[in-house]
Amino acid sequence: MRHALVEINGEPTAVTVDGDRPRRADGGPLAEDQARWLPPVSGTVFGIALNDRALLESHLDSFNQPPYEKPPTKPVLFIKTPNTRNGHRRPVARPAGERLQPGPSLGVVIGKTASRVSEADALAHVAGYTVINEFSLPEDSYYRPAVKAKCRDGFCPIGPWVTDAADVGDPSGLGVRLTVNGELRQEGNTGNFVRPVARLIAELSEFMTLHEGDVLIAGVPAGRVDVEPGDEVAVEIDKVGTLVSLVTEEDTTRKGDRP
Amino acid sequence: MKHARIQHRGQVLDVTVNDDGNILMADGTPLDAGQVTWLPPATGTMFALGLNYADHAAELSFKSAPKEPLVFVKAPNAYTGHDGYSWRPDNVDYMHYECELVAVIGKTARNVSRADALEYVAGYTLCNDYAIRDYLENYYRPNLRVKNRDSTTPVGPWIIDRSQVPEPNNLTLRTYINGELKQEGTTADMIFDVPFLIEYLSGFMTLQPGDMIATGTPKGMADVQPGDVVDVEIEGIGRLRNTMLSESEFFKNAKEQSS
């Protein structure tokens, strides 16, 4: 089963999805233009950087030098703040004067409180999986927290829906593809993770309780590309779904508390 | 006016605290302080500053003060209220407190200038931004394993209205362990002040009501041990108390509370 959150007449409404079409609680379909897709989750979004083997290996030479001194020993984590959350088929603004890079990733949606769970029990705490596009400015260093690169408004499209964990099964062999205007530009597989999903949950929950609705951005593959205003960017993950974003130019006139 | 969030007989309540320290419900009914569990007074994202006092940066052997703020992000799992408990992991050598002035955002802020910035501050609270130096790694430093641990950032006791803090840049900060003064400094020594930080952050992202900016700590670090009672205090804002537990005590209590 696929679960989504859509805005109907201004109201966020939980729906199920049949194919790629949301259905009302009474089972009737919704026309595409009647429903605006919202992020299907609302908890804390934790990102795991450098969880793709090829990406980590490409940096190992520099990671043995200052300022790093040695490769990371624990998961390299960041937080996508609530202002970054964005829905399916929504605009993502390229900041003025900056380069913008999508980050295709499996999203792991927590289903029940996980504190200090073992790797063997970890997947029992997963409600399902979603698609994430972890937009970022290019990272030329991993030394300091990437707040300026990653916490911009709308930089974390999530969705369109959450697919039940039971419908996905083993999350470790899923193909992840990024297309820009229909052309394949970046590719990975969740089987190439440095730490598989179960191990991530075990290691994170050692010091942070994961709550229902929290999401892990499990890992972006090597080879981020630049996108331009006007581009249609899609992230496709086997068995989970396809998430589309529309790149626009930043509105530099936005000020103060005006929405 | 001082505004707090508390739990009383299983209910979460917004209360005020008067000049005599009495806790009052919205209708003016006083509550017995002994029957109240203090909660963090705000629950948005916390943007925390590293190395924002020149003397502290020197203490950590940084040769020159930073030119751009070093900002890291905390999520709600890290927060705990006044008179609550934090925990020291087993087998670590150095866990220290950090007494910090916290500005609480009162309205949506985007592209706000320094001159207008304080209009976006609802008020001030304080936090104790504990850190475990053993867990520092040179990736997104200070990393989440150091700074976003469950219940390891006490916040509170309350938010005091901005109008009651006319000089936020001239306040004395103090930390006591078991009543003994360990740290003393002044917000006058802050490198990047609250208006600068609001201009900086809102220049690339939207700050939301309830978001917090923790402005860093002066020099005077010391180790804390299980059983220690740690008070952080800022003149004119309040005094925030926390008791340090061992890892096993903390998780035994957490397990009993959830069962």
User: What's the per-residue H, E or C state across B4-37?
Assistant: EEEEECCEEEEEEECCCCCEECCCCCEECHHHEE
d(CA A166, CA A164): 5
Helices marked H in chain A = 53-63, 119-122, 147-150, 165-168, 197-204
Residues A28, A126: one domain?
Answer: no
Interchain pair B143, A76: CB under 8 A: yes
Best mutation site among B49, B132, B137, B140 for testing chain A: the one with the most A CBs within 10 Å?
Answer: B140
Question: What's the average model confidence in pLDDT over B45-52?
Answer: 96
User: Quick one: pLDDT at residue A259?
Assistant: 40
Give the type of residue at A237. Answer: I
Residues A91 and A201 in one domain: yes
Q: Residues B110-129: what's their mean pLDDT?
A: 97
CATH code, A19? 2.30.30
Tell me the count of A-B CB pairs closer than 8 A: 115
Q: Give the Cα separation of A250 and B14 in Å (integer).
A: 38
One domain for residues A66 and A180: yes
A103 lies in a domain?
A: yes
Residues on chain A touching B144 (C-beta within 8 angstroms): 46, 77-79, 208
- Annotate B34-101 with three-state secondary structure: HHEEEECCCCCCEEEEECCEHHHHHHCCCCCCCCCCEEEEECHHHEECCCEEEEECCCCCCEECCEEE
Residues of B in contact with A255 (CB under 8 A): 110-112
Give the per-residue pLDDT at B59: 67
For residue B199, pLDDT beyond 80: yes
Task: Note down the domain range covering A26.
Answer: 1-38
Does residue A118 lie in a domain region?
yes
Q: Are residues A134 and A244 in the same domain?
A: yes
Contact A254 B112 (CB under 8 A): no
**What's the CA gap between B184 and B233, in Å, rounded?**
10
**Contacts A77 to B, Cβ<8 Å:** 140, 143-145, 148
Q: Are residues A62 and A21 in the same domain?
A: no
Across the interface, do A76 and B72 touch by the CB < 8 Å criterion?
no
Chosen for mutation from A63, A113, A148 (greatest number of chain B CBs closer than 10 Å) is A148
Is A126 found in the same domain as A14?
Answer: no
Residues of chain A with pLDDT under 50: 257-259
Residue A198 sits in the same domain as residue A236: yes
Inter-chain residue contact B140 with A76, CB threshold 8 Å: yes
Task: List residues in chain B touching A: CB distance below 8 A.
Answer: 44-45, 47, 70-78, 89, 107-112, 116, 120, 135, 137-145, 148-150, 204-208, 251, 254, 258
Please indicate, yes or no, whether residues A28 and A55 belong to a single structural domain of this protein: no
The average pLDDT across B35-45 equals 97
Q: Does A256 fall in a domain?
A: no
Cα angle at A228 between A180 and A162, to 5 degrees? 50
Q: Mean of the per-residue pLDDT values for chain B?
A: 95
CA B20/CA B16 separation, integer angstroms: 11
pLDDT of residue A10: 85
Give the integer Cα–Cα distance in Å for B235 and B160.
12
Contacts of B252 (CB under 8 A, 6+ apart): none
The contacts of residue A166 (CB under 8 Å, 6+ apart) are none
Q: Is residue A142 part of a domain?
A: yes
In terms of domains, do A88 and A178 share one? Answer: yes
Judge if A66 and A127 occupy the same domain.
yes
- Give the strand pairing for A11-18 and A21-23: antiparallel
CB A87 within 8 A of CB A159: yes
Token representation of residue B177: 């362990």
Which chain B residue's Cα is nearest to A66? B138
Residue ranges and CATH numbers for the domains of chain B are 1-39 (2.30.30.370), 42-258 (3.90.850.10)
Q: Decide if A187 contacts A124 (C-beta within 8 A).
A: no
> In this predicted structure, what is the pLDDT of residue A256?
54
Q: What is the dihedral of CA B125, B131, B136, B141, to 10 degrees?
A: 10
Distances (CA, A) of B52 to A258, B58, B134, B148, B192: 30, 11, 21, 19, 6
Q: C-alpha distances in angstroms, A228 versus A95, A102, A138, A225, A248?
A: 11, 11, 14, 10, 8
Nearest CB among B45, B107, B143 relative to A257 is that of: B107
Integer Cα distance of B170 and A199 in angstroms: 47
Contact in structure between B247 and B87 (CB atoms under 8 Å): yes
Residues A34 and A49 in one domain: no
Q: Is residue A205 part of a domain?
A: yes
Which has the minimum average pLDDT: B70-84, B99-113, B149-163, B242-256? B242-256
Mean pLDDT value across residues B11-30: 94
What is the CATH classification number for the domain harbouring A92? 3.90.850.10
* A169 occurs within a structural domain: yes
Query: Of B126, B99, B74, which Cα lies nearest the Cα of B222?
Result: B99
Nearest CA of chain A to the CA of B124: how many Å? 20
The CA distance from A180 to A187, in Å, is 12
Do A26 and A68 share a domain, yes or no? Answer: no
**CA B141 remoteness from chain centre:** 19
Residue carrying the six token digits 């959150």: A5
> For A77, which of B70, B144, B204 is closest by C-beta distance?
B144
Nearest by CB to residue A257, choosing from B108, B148, B205, is B108
Q: Nearest-CA residue of chain A relative to B254?
A: A115
Residue A34 CB neighbours (<10 A): 13
- Structurally, chain A folds into a number of domains equal to 2
Q: Please, how many CA atoms are within 13 Å of residue B54, restricted to the half-sphere of its CB? A: 6
Name chain B contacts of A203, Cβ cutoff 8 Å: none
pLDDT of residue A258: 43
A258 within a domain of the structure (yes/no):
no
CA distance A67 to chain B (A): 7
CB A101, CB A225: distance < 8 Å: yes
Residue A257 lies in a domain: no
